[in-house]
Copies of this chain bind each other. A is one copy, B any other.
Amino acid sequence: VPGVGEIIVTGTVHGRDETIDALLDAALAHVRRSRTEPGCLSHHVLRDAEDPNRLFFFERWADRAALDAHFAVPASAEFVGRLRELATGTPTMQIVETA
């Protein structure tokens, strides 16, 4: 159960039939790398049951400092660049803190 002050990050990216396998590969590499970082409580990528070309990211971080450190990892920026290359439309991200 998430505790007070945890950070939940969600994100959505849309692919196409031709790009979804490459998107999944990039996403899974990012997820597995992120799980090894300090303060990462969980990190998953999932496929929308109503639209398998819509990928959803669900991440929990111990606090904002851990998330900021994650964003500062060069591989995170490389991943975002790769998403933008492969995605249809602009990927979205939401960050909330738990009360």
Contact = CB atoms under 8 A, between A and B. Distances in A.
Oligomeric state, in number of copies? 2
A13 to B, nearest CB: 12
A55 B49 contact: yes
Interface residues of A, number: 26
Contact of A47 (B4, B6, B10, B46): B46
Given A10-B58, A56-B58, A2 B96 contact: yes
A83 interface: no
Given A8-B8, A8-B96, A50 B44 contact: yes
Interface of A: 1-2, 4-6, 8, 10, 24, 27-28, 31, 44-50, 55-56, 58, 94, 96-99
